[in-house]
Amino acid sequence: MSKLLKRQNDILQVVSQGWNFFKRNFYYFSRIPKTWYSAQQFCMSRNSHLTSVTSESEQEFLYKTAGGRIYWIGLTKAGMEGEWHWVDDTPFNKVQSERFWIPGEPNNYENNEHCANIKASSLQSWNDASCDQTLLFICKRPYIPSEP
């Protein structure tokens, strides 16, 4: 079997298990709501993390696939003065990310909004919320070609 065919088979197999494939990553859009922490545990049990967002095209893919429903993403901050960071250890690009928050967010309205979700069908779609809310969520895992 050619390498390309093997690769396509690998991808198809994961896609058939309910994952979406976009630019070398797999994404799982949950159908069952969980708190942010439970969602991250669910993702980790499937070899993934709550999704990071590293580009405008990835952000666009996510909000279009989300289709107006609210999904947790892997963005969180520790404590009151904490910095936002991605749970999958992707470096957080504050400047680029400013374009992805809903205008006026993150507002930390109740001082406990330490987790982020995709809330709107637009490039500016992130909202900060209490991590204890139960929402749908998106897991992400990189596609790593298996060696033949």
Mean pLDDT of the chain: 93
Three-state SS annotation for 77-137: ECCCCCCEEECCCCCCCHHHHHHHECCCCCCCCCCCCCEEEECCCCCCCEEEECCCCCEEE
CATH number at residue 7: 3.10.100.10
Is the residue at 56 inside a domain?
Answer: yes
The residue among 17, 104, 93, 19 whose CA lies nearest residue 56 is 93
Please indicate, yes or no, if residue 131 is contained in any of the structural domains.
yes
Domain that holds residue 62: 3-142
Tokens 């749970």 correspond to 87
* Residue 101 within any structural domain of the chain: yes
Q: What is the number of structural domains in the chain?
A: 1
Please report the pLDDT score of residue 81 as a whole number.
66
Q: What's the rounded Cα separation, in Å, for the pair 147 and 141?
A: 18
Amino acid at 33: P
CB of 33 closer than 8 Å to CB of 133? no
pLDDT tens digits, one per residue of 53-95: 999 999 999 999 999 999 999 999 976 668 899 999 999 999 9
Say what the pLDDT of residue 1 is.
76
| Residue 148 lies inside a defined structural domain of this protein | no
For residues 82 and 114, the answer to whether their CB atoms sit within 8 Å is: yes
Q: What is the pTM of this model?
A: 0.94
Residue at 147 is within a domain: no
Is 62 a domain residue? yes
pLDDT at 19 over 80: yes
Taking only the tens place, the pLDDT of each residue in 93-116 is: 999 999 999 999 998 766 688 999
